[in-house]
Amino acid sequence: SQQGEEDPQALSIQEGENATMNCSYKTSINNLQWYRQNSGRGLVHLILIRSNEREKHSGRLRVTLDTSKKSSSLLITASRAADTASYFCAGGTSYGKLTFGQGTILTVHP
Amino acid sequence: GAVVSQHPSRVICKSGTSVKIECRSLDFQATTMFWYRQFPKQSLMLMATSNEGSKATYEQGVEKDKFLINHASLTLSTLTVTSAHPEDSSFYICSATGGATLGTDTQYFGPGTRLTVL
């Protein structure tokens, strides 16, 4: 079963703008991960935040986690056309199993 | 580092034939490998988890006799779709975790295999 909902399902912005994607999950997690997928390709790991963390940064990425609301958000700052892809959140268990959200399709227009 | 390959990248077969997909960890030992399928514009659905040398654990609703998984070594897992039918057409993606070396939290994904059953 899928982890939960992601919103928006699709996001279209201009280069230079920030992109925010949200994810809600249903089950208990050990960590929350975000992945990126270019069309027809495999997934690339972006960032992992543990259940005892609230915020994490990596380059232009900022992820937050609110375990009380069972939600996470991914912020991509100063977006580029190359950021165009699908973004998935995934709840991770202590033994490595991931359950993916529905994904957000991000389009960044040059 | 942490590269996972899949072969073939695309396969087209006739209904009723079996198809084998290979997943290899190229530069690390994969203690656990996962198999997912993804339909167009949808998310990844976990099919099964396999640990080297033991039987795969299948998710609910996945037919183990239909999707045979073998994890014979720490760098290779195979998925065989037996007696494939058009409804098995999908994008199959494997991933691997690196155990003590790379940890068990992050999964490293292969590029996927597009299966089309005519």
Contact between A45 and B32 using a beta-carbon 8 Å cutoff = no
Helix (H) or strand (E) holding A97: none
Write out the H or E segment, with its range, that includes residue B113: strand B113-117
Residue-wise pLDDT for B6-16, tens only, equals 999 999 999 99
Q: How far is B18 from chain A (nearest CA, A)?
A: 23
Q: Please say if the pLDDT value at position A40 is more than 60.
A: yes
* Test mutation, B44, B58, B102, chain A, max A CBs within 10 A: B44
Please tell me which residue, A110 or A27, carries the higher pLDDT value.
Answer: A110
- Contacts with A63 (C-beta within 8 Å, 6 or more apart), sequence order: A32, A34, A47, A49, A55, A56, A57, A72, A73, A74, A75
Contacts of B108 in chain A (CB under 8 A): 45
The predicted model gives B94-101 an average pLDDT of 82
Of B45, B106, B111, the CB nearest to A42: B111
Choose, out of A26, A44, A45, A86, the residue to mutate when testing the contact with B (most B CBs < 10 Å).
A45
Q: Does A71 touch chain B (CB under 8 A)?
A: no
- For residue A1, give how far its alpha carbon lies from the nearest alpha carbon of chain B (Å): 7
Which backbone phi and psi does A109 adopt, to 5 degrees?
Answer: -90, 130
Q: What is the pLDDT of residues B20-77, one digit of tens each?
A: 999 999 988 888 999 999 998 889 999 999 988 888 999 999 999 999 999 888 899 9
A58-95 tens-digit pLDDT: 999 999 999 999 999 999 999 999 999 999 999 998 77
d(CA B3, CA B95): 10
